[in-house]
Amino acid sequence: MEKSLIIAEKPSVASDIAKALGGFKKTNDVFENDDMVIVSAVGHLLTLSVPEKYEISIKLIEPLINKSIAKAKKNNVNGKALTPFLLSEILRETKGKSLEANKALLFNNIDLASKIAKTLANINRNSEVLSLIR
């Protein structure tokens, strides 16, 4: 019988998913029922960086980030408005280079995610994946 594998970002999230779905038996940090297995990781499974062509040096970007944060504090920008504010400030300060860097990173994420999905789709779940998590 094939089972779906859910990899949660941390143990508490795996537990929350199992509680929300109901009907799971917990063994160590693995939740399992007839149809699914829920496991978790701690930390990042993988990281991606901006392609070198679009990279903005830390010497350039760090002061701009700090300047934008200070401006946000000065103008009482917080909550849901903070991220758009910071992104627009950094976009303006980098004359659009930060947007190009973010888009390149997004496309890298899409490319890697599709490769991972394709690889996982080709794995015999019962023999290979489940043996890795037990």
Q: Per-residue pLDDT tens for 10-69?
A: 899 999 999 999 999 999 889 999 989 999 888 766 778 889 999 999 999 999 999 999
What pLDDT does residue 128 have? 53
Q: Is residue 122 domain-resident?
A: no
Q: Is the pLDDT of residue 132 over 80?
A: no
Structure tokens at 122: 């080709």
What pLDDT does residue 125 have? 52
What pLDDT does residue 93 have? 96
Classify residue 57 by burial, with Cβ atoms within 10 Å: 0-12, 13-18, 19+: exposed
Whether 56 and 87 share a structural domain: yes
Q: Is residue 81 domain-resident?
A: yes
What pLDDT does residue 126 have? 47
Residue found by looking up tokens 């029922």 in the block: 33
Stated pTM of the model: 0.58
Structure tokens at 17: 């998913």
Which residues span the domain enclosing 10?
Answer: 4-43
Q: Is residue 65 domain-resident?
A: yes
CA–CA separation, 50 and 90 (whole Å): 16
